[in-house]
Amino acid sequence: MTTQNSTFMAVPGPREQIISTQPFVVRRRILWGECDPAGVVYTPRYGDLSADAGQLFLACIGGGKGYVDAKRKQGIGTPCKAFSLVFHSSLAPDDEVDISVTVGHIGNTSFELVIKARTPKEQLVFEGSTTLITIQQGTRAAIKVPTSLRDLLVAYQTA
């Protein structure tokens, strides 16, 4: 059945898409189910947004078909050691947010991903960081950040 309603609106763009690889930026559209009854994103979802952007970044630089595949190719695991976020403004259903990922400190057995999220109009929404430890795949033993991964991370390191 076809309707001809001139007020019909187009469906929003995709839920998530990489819009730049250098710098690395992923655009994410907020879903209704990610929000509380007041119509703003539930606080824990900001952590999900940050972690998802970090995983897409690592998948992209690691050359995998996804985050898990990229880690498998490196022969590592990456449990989280530290995570922090600072909120500057809220998001509501159908809002879009551009989440940039850069690399902060690279240590002997860990590295930091720096996250900044802005609306497409450049309003800062949240910023933070996550520190990941490199471990031997299948164990909980920390290992040096592999040289191949370190080289990839350096290309995205913040000044």
Instruction: Specify the pLDDT at position 8.
Output: 60
pLDDT reported for residue 6: 56
The answer to whether the Cα torsion of 47, 53, 55, 61 is positive or negative is negative
Query: What does the alpha-carbon distance between residue 67 and residue 61 come to, in Å, rounded to a whole number?
Result: 10
Does this model's pTM top 0.85? yes
What pLDDT sits at residue 4? Answer: 56
When pLDDT is averaged across residues 60-83 and rounded to a whole number, the result is 89
Distance CA 67, CA 57 (A): 8
Query: For residue 74, what are its two tokens?
Result: 């490196």
Tell me the mean pLDDT in the region 112-126. Answer: 97
Amino acid 87: pLDDT: 96
Helix, strand, coil percentages, rounded to 5, for the chain: 25, 35, 40
Task: Quote the CA–CA distance of 111 and 153 in Å, as a whole number.
Answer: 8
Cis amide leading into 37 (omega within 30)? no
Average confidence score pLDDT of the chain: 91
pLDDT at residue 37, as a whole number: 93
C-alpha closest to that of 118 among 109, 130, 127:
127
Q: Are 49 and 118 in contact (CB under 8 A)?
A: no
| Band of pLDDT at residue 31, cut at 50, 70 and 90 | very high
Question: Is residue 117 a contact partner of residue 128, using CB atoms and an 8 Å limit?
Answer: no
Closest CA to 48 of 37, 35, 60: 35
Percent of the chain exceeding pLDDT 70 equals 91
Q: What are phi and psi of 106, to 5 degrees?
A: -115, 115
Query: From CA 6, how far away is CA 114, in angstroms rounded?
Result: 44
